[in-house]
Structure 1
Amino acid sequence: MAGEDFAGQAMRLAGRAGVMFGWAPDAFWNATPAELGALARALGGAEAAPVDAGMIAKLKEQFPDG
């Protein structure tokens, strides 16, 4: 969080990793940022495809601005 020092942010993130991934503190501290990021992305599911012109036209039809 903004204004939070490194130790506070690390403790919060370690707690979340414990809850979300079942990690003990040593697993968190031995993990790389890439490993933590990969798990977080996996929980987020598939990324949404970008909206194309056809989708925008369809949305404009469904929700006209009047």
Structure 2
Amino acid sequence: MSVRDGLDWAGLMRVGLHQLRLRPAEFWALTPAELAIMLGESASDVRAMGRSRFEALLARFPDGADGSERKNG
């Protein structure tokens, strides 16, 4: 996957696991904002997700589309 296709997961993992010396569970537990801050971006540089981007993600990855969403009760 290239950066053009989405997130550069291989690059992010390399930085997280090798440079930041995170364990895999620690890396995967981070939010994107936390990782960005750890990589040197200030809190003001981390942009909040806008409504349109959120709606696009909901459309692309609907909850329960694969039957994996748990039912309460």
TM (norm. structure 2) is: 0.42
**Higher Rg of the two aligned structures:** 1
TM (norm. structure 1) is: 0.46
Richer in helix (by share): 1
